[in-house]
Amino acid sequence: MKILIPTPLRQYAAKKDAVDVAANTVGEALTSLTSQYSDLRRHLYTDDGKLRAFVNVYLNDEDIRYLQKENTPVRDGDTLSIVPSIAGGCRCPR
Amino acid sequence: MLTIRQSELEALRRHGEETYPHECCGVMLGRMEGTERVVETVSRAGNTRVDSPHNRYNIDPRELVRIQRESRGRGLDIVGFYHSHPDHPARWSQTDLAEAHWVGCSYVITSVEHGRAALTNSFALEGTGEEDKHFVDEGIRVLTAEAAD
C-alpha cells in the first residue's frame, strides 16, 4: 500500500511524497513508515505514543477515527493519507 | 518569498469578499523551489466552522485529502493556505499560530473591510516542529499575465 506524505513532513522522509509499505493494518503501515524514517515519529506521535490530535489519517476517503483507528485492516492498493489539520481565525481564545 | 500570478491572487481575495462577513479558506497548489513557494493555482475550500464562521475557519480534512490527491496527480504540491479576516487586520492571530501545522508552507491572510478585500499578507510557518514553530513575514511576488507567460 501507499502512504502519501504531506509537504511539511517530506524533509523527514528523504523528500519523498509517497512511501510504499507492506502492512495488514493502519498501525502496521505507520510503524513501517516510522521505522524507515525515524525522524517522522515525533511529528506524528506524542511522547506517550498516541497520534497527535491534529494529525488526520485517512484510509482512502475515510478517517481512521471512524473505522477501527490503527487496527483498521488495509489491503494492497489502499492509500493512506496523512493530513495535518488546517484551521485558525482572527479571534483569539480568551 | 511567495510567488503567485495576479489572477490567482485576485481569486483568493475575491473569495474573501464573497464569503464576507464570514471567513473564507482555501489551499494554494504549486511547487516548492528551495525555501520559496510558487503558486500555480488556488483551490477553494468550505469553512466547516458553522458555529463561528465570522472569526474562525476549518477545512474539512476529507476535502484536504481530495485536494492533496488530485494535486499530486497534476504534479503539484500543497504549498500553502489562505483565509480572510473580516473587518480585522491581515495579521496572524494566536489562534492562527496555534492551529498551524504545515511547517514550510505559506499562510496568506486577507483583511476584508466592509465587504471589500483590503490588505493581503503572507507568512511562512518556520521551525522544526510544534515546539518552535513560528510565523515569519514574507514578501509576495505577483506575476502579471505578461510575466507569467
ipTM for the assembly: 0.91
Bigger pLDDT: A37 or B129?
A37
SS3 label, residue A28: helix
**Mean residue pLDDT across chain A:** 94
Bigger pLDDT: B55 or B107?
B107
pTM for the model stands at 0.94
Q: What pLDDT was estimated at residue B146? A: 67
Q: What are the DSSP calls for B1-57, one per residue?
A: -EEEEHHHHHHHHHHHHHHTTSPPEEEEEEEEETTEEEEEEEEEE----TTSTTT-E
Asked if pLDDT for residue B128 goes beyond 70, the answer is: yes
Bigger pLDDT: B147 or B55?
B55
Identity of the residue in B45, B69, B95 whose CB atom sits nearest the CB atom of A88: B95
Residue A94: which pLDDT band, with cuts at 50, 70 and 90? Answer: very low
Residues of A in contact with B23 (CB under 8 A): 89-90
Asked if pLDDT for residue B147 goes beyond 70, the answer is: no
Integer Cα distance of B5 and A72 in angstroms: 43
Contact B24, B57 (CB under 8 A): yes
Angstrom CA distances, B61 to A10, A17, A64, A67, B47, stand at 19, 18, 12, 15, 11
Contact B61, B67 (CB under 8 A): no
Rounded to an integer, the average pLDDT of B109-118 is 98
Rounded to an integer, the average pLDDT of A18-44 is 97
Q: What pLDDT was estimated at residue A15? A: 94
Residues A38-78: tens digit of each pLDDT: 999 999 999 999 999 999 999 999 999 999 999 999 999 99
Interface contact flag, A61 B23, Cβ < 8 Å: no
What are chain B's domains? 2-148 (3.40.140.10)
Contact A5, A37 (CB under 8 A): no
Asked if pLDDT for residue A92 goes beyond 70, the answer is: no
- For chain A, list residues whose CB is within 8 angstroms of any CB belonging to chain B: 4, 6-8, 11, 17-18, 42-43, 52, 54-56, 58, 61, 63, 79, 81, 83-93
Angstrom CA distances, B130 to A77, B87, B103, B140, stand at 32, 29, 9, 25
Residue A91: which pLDDT band, with cuts at 50, 70 and 90? Answer: confident
Phi, psi of B69, deg, nearest 5: -70, -45
What are chain A's domains? 2-84 (3.10.20.30)
* CA proximity to B58, closest of B89, B22, B94, B9: B22
Identity of the residue in B64, B85, B94 whose CB atom sits nearest the CB atom of A86: B64
Q: What pLDDT was estimated at residue B35? A: 82
Interface contact flag, A89 B32, Cβ < 8 Å: no
Residues B27-76: tens digit of each pLDDT: 999 999 988 999 999 999 999 998 889 899 999 999 999 999 899 999 99
